[in-house]
């Protein structure tokens, strides 16, 4: 029994926060005392000697040897939390604070309980890394001692400082200074950083230095204060004092065998100071140390990346920046550049991570803040984005950039009147500010005011004729406004007047491709190639023309030629997944399912296209009536990606060999697990509707409408069912859906059809006519339009529509 108690005590001790000298000694003493009480000889863990030596080497500053001892200890006992705590000590000494935090997390996990001390240490490491850790977790720590509460307050102050919440940070730092708190040095350092950020009327540098002096009086070995003081004296041009503080920083650091980031900054500052004071020989000695150090290699890789970017060689630049981030994960400039690259590539989650890290630097660039705001708006992190925008407006209330971003924020949350106000204010201050003009156009388009949308996008185009995204927006708005021919004429005029500009030429080629005029599309592509054959849009356009040509060949029955054209599309743009999917479908149609499955296997092998490959494989198997195998593939997709499209596809495949109730079981389970999930509710409602189980369907659709009351698709489906049930709600529900989405042919068709059944033929006819134009291949919509024409007495037109239906 006593043995079990001792074992429990030992496990508990592993979670205690000791100084490095006492942690293993305490562990051993408790073990010995306990075993003596049991009248047994002490039996140490097999890894004890390695851990003891590792701790000794850490105390001596020999981190490399300490690391070897810890690796040996982990071979003996991989799950000893003490080893991870010692690794955290090494990482902390090296300045790799995120690694230290992760090691402490592992120690906490292995110890089997949440230690307040370990949690505080983890937060300290994250804060030193410049990361904004969870304030909620820190605030909600329970059962803390007085010393732990004091550390908690200090860490919270630093967190507020990182998040730019300067009022709360200042309040906490002042509280620490005015109490019996051992973290006074940190508090004065925090106040110094606040004084630099707030830029008071007095000289912020001198005020910060005075606060840092108080920090160093409280703790003469506070590294951050020493280094900050040296940097400020250097900035003020006082080289003698800067040299003194850089030297004191170096002497205070314990690392003897490694070059840490802070040591590199101090040594770099010392080299600069010595050079400015004419002490060239001494400066050269330190410069040689820097060049051979890890941070020196970091600097070299970063500078090589900048050179590559200057030559527009992104492929060469990115690996260099990634090498920098392997050595220094928090390097602000590299994080900013990689963040921009990920943003351009469309990986917004990765972009947000890198740009957030870049924001942790002492002096944040405006470009970084702007990029992070845009990324967070795209990721729908609205609260975080608004905070950064407000920070910018607090610094400069007249800034067109931040006024426009505020407009973008309101547009993103669909407060269009506020968005319009901010965009118009921006344009008043700078009539040529493109983001505001584009944002205003988009805001009007989202409210179905396409005349105003076109007006402002036209103003933007006049400022920048060579802008493909804006020209494409013009085409989109014009199409929605039934003015596509006018927009095309404008593009042709621009091309005629400025034939050297590539954007109108490429957009014309794309527009003719959309209209399936391959002759003119190829003609304008040829002109674009003559202007700039290296333009990134060229390869995509060539590939899409080959894809369109393949589709035409399939319609004409030339399947072998279509395969050749698809091969060409894939060669021109290997990421043209539509071409690959169509090729696989075509091969399946020709009876070569094995070759089609090879394409799906290739797509599955790439993590980025795995789901596309699985979906393709499922489709191929389903087309070959191998429904059970197809269901297995779609079940694999469903485990990873629960989306309505996959839910319905899996349901229809399973229905081929099952009854509808069993086939829809996965959707019902989805709803059971997530009873308030809009997509689960609406998908199951659609399945019930498809099976004409209208009572159950309408109950779910009504619930979905409560969650998203202005969703036109849900309202449209409800109107259809109400109409089938002869419920008087059918017409007003259909009208509401139509008001929300007049350009959606399915919505227009439902509204028009219900109007027709309610004998409102005159009102129904133009609505059904518009739906027929928008969906010229939809037989049901054309059928409804034909019936409306017949009812209106336009039999000849109705016959033409019916004739068209027979040809589809």
Domain coordinates of the chain in residue numbers? 710-808
- pLDDT higher than threshold 90 for residue 768: yes
Angle, alpha carbons 375-361-292 (nearest 5°)? 120
Mean pLDDT of all residues belonging to the chain:
85
175-231 per-position pLDDT tens digit: 988 887 788 898 899 898 888 877 654 566 788 899 999 999 999 988 889 989 988
pLDDT at site 419: 95
Residue 806: both structure tokens together:
């027979």
Per the model's pLDDT, the better-predicted residue between 576 and 15 turns out to be 576
- pLDDT higher than threshold 90 for residue 671: yes
The helix (run of H) or strand (run of E) holding residue 5 is helix 2-13
CB atoms within 10 A of CB 293: 17
**Burial group, residue 701, by CB count within 10 angstroms (0-12, 13-18, 19+):** buried
- pLDDT higher than threshold 70 for residue 25: no
pLDDT band at 563 (very low <50, low <70, confident <90, very high): very high
Per the model's pLDDT, the better-predicted residue between 573 and 247 turns out to be 573
Dist. CA 115–CA 125, nearest whole Å: 15
719-730 per-position pLDDT tens digit: 999 999 999 999
- pLDDT higher than threshold 50 for residue 16: no
- pLDDT higher than threshold 50 for residue 387: yes
| Three-class DSSP category at 141 | coil
pLDDT at site 293: 57
Residue 317: both structure tokens together:
């630049």
128-143 per-position pLDDT tens digit: 776 656 677 778 777 7
DSSP string, 37-69: HTT------TTHHHHHHHHHHHHHT-HHHHHHH
What's the rounded mean pLDDT across residues 10-18? 43
- pLDDT higher than threshold 60 for residue 57: yes
pLDDT at site 808: 76
103-112, 122-131, 790-799: which range is least confident on average?
122-131
What's the rounded mean pLDDT across residues 59-76? 80
**Of 350, 302, 290, 289, whose CA–CA distance to 328 is shortest?**
302
Question: What fold, for 710-808?
Answer: 1.25.40
The answer to whether 572 and 536 are in contact (CB under 8 A) is: no
The answer to whether 262 and 92 are in contact (CB under 8 A) is: no
pLDDT at site 750: 96
pLDDT band at 288 (very low <50, low <70, confident <90, very high): low
- For 507, phi then psi, to 5°, come to -65, -40
pLDDT at site 732: 96
- Give me the residue label for tokens 């957009």: 507
- pLDDT higher than threshold 50 for residue 14: no
DSSP H stretches of helix in 95-145: 97-111, 116-128, 135-139
Per the model's pLDDT, the better-predicted residue between 297 and 399 turns out to be 399
Q: Rounded to 5, what percent of the chain is helix, strand, coil?
A: 80, 0, 20
Best-predicted range by mean pLDDT (57-71, 260-274, 747-761): 747-761
DSSP string, 695-718: HHHHHHHHHHHHHSTT-HHHHHHH
pLDDT band at 31 (very low <50, low <70, confident <90, very high): very low
pLDDT at site 408: 95
What's the rounded mean pLDDT across residues 730-755? 94
pLDDT at site 600: 93
Q: Where are the beta strands (DSSP E) in 674-800?
A: none
Dist. CA 86–CA 84, nearest whole Å: 5
| Three-class DSSP category at 74 | helix
- Give me the residue label for tokens 């998040």: 163
DSSP string, 215-234: HHHH-TT-HHHHHHHHHHHH
- pLDDT higher than threshold 70 for residue 413: yes
602-639 per-position pLDDT tens digit: 999 988 889 999 999 999 999 889 999 999 999 999 99
Residue 232: both structure tokens together:
């400020």
CB atoms within 10 A of CB 304: 17
479-532 per-position pLDDT tens digit: 888 888 999 999 999 999 999 999 999 999 999 998 899 999 999 999 999 999
pLDDT at site 81: 84
pLDDT at site 549: 95
Q: What's the chain's Rg over C-alpha atoms?
A: 34
Buried b (16+ CB within 10 A) or exposed e, 20-37: eeebbeebbeebeebbee
Dist. CA 442–CA 753, nearest whole Å: 31
**Of 769, 774, 741, whose CA–CA distance to 479 is shortest?**
774
**Of 715, 722, 723, 718, whose CA–CA distance to 739 is shortest?**
715
pLDDT at site 297: 66
Q: What is the largest CA-CA distance in the chain?
A: 110
CA distances to 238, 352, 410, 604 from 377, rounded to whole Å, are 44, 10, 10, 31
pLDDT at site 39: 46
- pLDDT higher than threshold 70 for residue 536: yes
What's the rounded mean pLDDT across residues 555-560? 91
What's the rounded mean pLDDT across residues 647-655? 94
Dist. CA 559–CA 557, nearest whole Å: 6
Percent of the chain past pLDDT 70, that is, above it, reads 88
What's the rounded mean pLDDT across residues 319-328? 82
- pLDDT higher than threshold 50 for residue 789: yes
Round to the nearest angstrom and report the end-to-end CA distance of the chain: 85
pLDDT band at 27 (very low <50, low <70, confident <90, very high): very low
- pLDDT higher than threshold 70 for residue 22: no
Percent of the chain past pLDDT 90, that is, above it, reads 45
pLDDT band at 10 (very low <50, low <70, confident <90, very high): very low
């Amino acid at each position: 029994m006593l043995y079990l108690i001792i074992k429990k005590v030992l496990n508990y001790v592993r979670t205690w926060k000791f100084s490095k000298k006492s942690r293993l000694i305490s562990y051993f003493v408790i073990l010995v005392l306990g075993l003596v009480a049991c009248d047994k000889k002490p039996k140490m863990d097999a890894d004890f000697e390695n851990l003891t030596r590792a701790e000794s080497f850490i105390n001596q500053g020999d981190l490399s040897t300490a690391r070897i001892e810890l690796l040996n200890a982990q071979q003996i006992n991989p799950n000893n939390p003490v080893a991870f705590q010692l690794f955290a000590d090494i990482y902390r000494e090296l300045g790799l604070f995120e690694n230290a935090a992760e090691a402490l997390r592992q120690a906490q996990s292995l110890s089997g309980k949440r230690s307040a001390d370990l949690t505080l240490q983890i937060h300290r490491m994250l804060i030193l890394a410049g990361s904004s850790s969870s304030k909620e977790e820190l605030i909600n720590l329970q059962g803390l001692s007085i010393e732990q509460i004091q550390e908690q307050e200090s860490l919270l102050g630093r967190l507020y400082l990182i998040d730019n919440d300067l009022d709360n940070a200042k309040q906490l730092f002042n509280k620490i200074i005015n109490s019996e708190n051992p973290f006074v040095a940190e508090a004065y350092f925090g106040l110094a950083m606040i004084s630099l950020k707030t830029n008071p009327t007095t000289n912020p540098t001198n005020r910060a230095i005075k606060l840092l002096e108080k920090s160093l009086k409280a703790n003469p070995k506070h590294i951050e204060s020493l280094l900050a003081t040296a940097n400020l004296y250097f900035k003020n041009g006082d080289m003698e004092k800067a040299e003194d503080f850089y030297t004191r920083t170096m002497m205070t650091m314990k690392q003897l065998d490694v070059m840490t980031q802070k040591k590199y900054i101090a040594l770099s500052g010392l080299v600069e100071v010595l050079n400015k004071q004419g002490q060239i020989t001494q400066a050269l000695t330190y410069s040689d140390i820097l060049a051979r150090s890890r941070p020196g290699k970091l600097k070299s890789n970063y500078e090589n990346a900048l050179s590559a970017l200057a030559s527009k060689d992104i492929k060469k630049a990115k690996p260099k920046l990634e090498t920098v981030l392997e050595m220094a994960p928090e390097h602000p400039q590299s994080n900013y550049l990689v963040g921009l690259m990920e943003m351009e590539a469309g990986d917004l989650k990765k972009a947000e991570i890198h740009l957030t890290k870049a924001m942790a630097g002492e002096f944040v660039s405006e470009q970084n803040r702007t990029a992070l705001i845009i990324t967070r708006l795209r990721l729908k992190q609205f609260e975080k984005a608004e905070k950064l925008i407000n920070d910018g407006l607090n610094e400069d209330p007249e800034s067109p950039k931040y006024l426009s971003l505020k407009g973008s924020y309101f547009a993103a949350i669909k407060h269009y009147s506020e968005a319009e106000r901010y965009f118009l204010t921006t344009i008043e201050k700078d009539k040529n500010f493109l983001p505001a003009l584009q944002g205003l156009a988009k805001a009007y388009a989202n409210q179905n005011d396409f005349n105003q949308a076109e007006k402002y996008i036209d103003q933007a185009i006049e400022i920048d004729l060579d802008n493909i995204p804006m020209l494409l927006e013009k085409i989109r708005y014009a199409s929605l406004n039934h003015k596509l021919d006018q927009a095309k004429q404008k593009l042709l005029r621009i091309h005629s007047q400025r034939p050297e500009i590539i954007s109108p030429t490429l957009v014309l080629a794309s527009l003719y491709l959309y209209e399936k005029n391959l002759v003119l599309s190829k003609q304008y592509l040829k002109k674009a190639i003559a202007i700039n054959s290296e333009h990134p849009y060229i390869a995509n356009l060539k590939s899409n023309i080959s894809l369109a040509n393949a589709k035409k060949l399939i319609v004409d029955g030339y399947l072998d030629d279509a395969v050749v054209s698809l091969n060409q599309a894939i060669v021109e743009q290997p990421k043209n997944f539509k071409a690959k999917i169509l090729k696989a479908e075509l091969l399946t149609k020709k009876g070569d399912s094995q070759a089609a499955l090879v394409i799906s296997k290739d797509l599955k092998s790439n993590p980025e296209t795995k789901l596309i490959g699985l979906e393709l494989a499922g489709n191929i198997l389903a087309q070959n009536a191998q429904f059970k195998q197809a269901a297995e593939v779609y079940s694999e997709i469903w485990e990873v990606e629960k989306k309505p499209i996959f839910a319905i596809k899996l349901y229809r495949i399973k229905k081929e060999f099952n009854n509808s109730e069993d086939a829809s079981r996965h959707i019902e389970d989805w709803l059971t697990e997530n009873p308030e999930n809009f997509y689960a509710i609406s998908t199951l409602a659609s399945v019930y509707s498809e099976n004409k189980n209208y009572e159950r369907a309408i109950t779910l659709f009504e619930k979905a409408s409560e969650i998203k009351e202005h969703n036109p698709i849900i309202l449209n489906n409800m109107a259809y069912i109400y109409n089938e049930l002869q419920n008087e709600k059918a017409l007003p529900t259909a009208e509401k859906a139509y008001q929300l989405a007049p350009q959606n042919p399915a919505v227009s068709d439902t509204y028009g059809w219900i109007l027709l059944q309610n004998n409102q033929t005159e009102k129904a006819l133009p609505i059904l006519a518009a739906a027929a134009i928008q969906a010229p291949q939809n037989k049901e919509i054309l059928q409804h339009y034909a019936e409306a024409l017949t009812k209106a007495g336009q039999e000849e037109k109705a016959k033409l529509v019916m004739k068209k239906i027979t040809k589809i």
